Chain A
Amino acid sequence: AQSVTQLDSHVSVSEGTPVLLRCNYSSSYSPSLFWYVQHPNKGLQLLLKYTSAATLVKGINGFEAEFKKSETSFHLTKPSAHMSDAAEYFCVVSDIFGSSNTGKLIFGQGTTLQVKP
């Protein structure tokens, strides 16, 4: 079975400093991995996706993630945090090889990113 673990439930950074949100995955197959962001009272927005092409994936709003198979990690980074980045972030794996191959998404627990002025 596929799963993701987000290593931090809460991360606090100062505006202008780097952001690192950690995610480890477990998969029997080459996974498809995603990061979604959820701003307060908003829906889920796709930040970026890894789909077995380049291991360094660039997303929206300056976010990046690197797929490291040897470490089974897919950490999300951003060089410089903005106040508007404060939100809940979910690391997600696609169960494309599940029992019915419908590709349901399996979410991590989420990491709340706080950005201090």
Chain B
Amino acid sequence: EPEVTQTPSHQVTQMGQEVILRCVPISNHLYFYWYRQILGQKVEFLVSFYNNEISEKSEIFDDQFSVERPDGSNFTLKIRSTKLEDSAMYFCASSAPLPGASYNEQFFGPGTRLTVL
């Protein structure tokens, strides 16, 4: 069964460093998402991406964040200068809504745990 994969599973970095989190969505999916979950808090939407551009982003997704689909398979989240408060689990998701569908089922990867020291 196809699945979303994410690498690395755990990333430790120093404050101020750049990190890139990688995701491989399900191959025929068209919509891509990043969410994050700070320890003990709920899952929060960061950004959605469609047709090679950002379609929506949350207030969390400031200038320090960027996303890219550099080739036909990978979807990356870059944090330019990490802060302590960026420590969280980051989930990638993808979906392929059927035309006229009233819902959008998203498939999640296992997550990358980012620890900023």
Contacts and interface: CB of A to CB of B under 8 A. Distances in A.
Interface residues of A, number: 27
B interface majority secondary structure: strand
A109 B44 CA distance: 10
Given A100-B56, A102-B48, A105-B45, A32 B109 contact: no
A40 to B, nearest CB: 12
Residue among B33, B101, B104, B110 with the most chain A CB within 10 A? B104
Contacts of B93: 105
Contacts of A43: 91, 108-111
B105 A108 contact: no
Given A43-B109, A104-B56, A32 B102 contact: yes
Interface residues of B, number: 27
Contacts of A32: 102-104
A98 B48 CA distance: 12
Interface of A: 30, 32, 34, 36, 42-46, 49, 51-52, 90, 94, 96, 98-100, 102-110
Given A100-B55, A108-B42, A49 B103 contact: yes
A1 to B, nearest CB: 12
Contact of B102 (A36, A52, A104): A52
Contacts of B56: 98-100, 102, 104
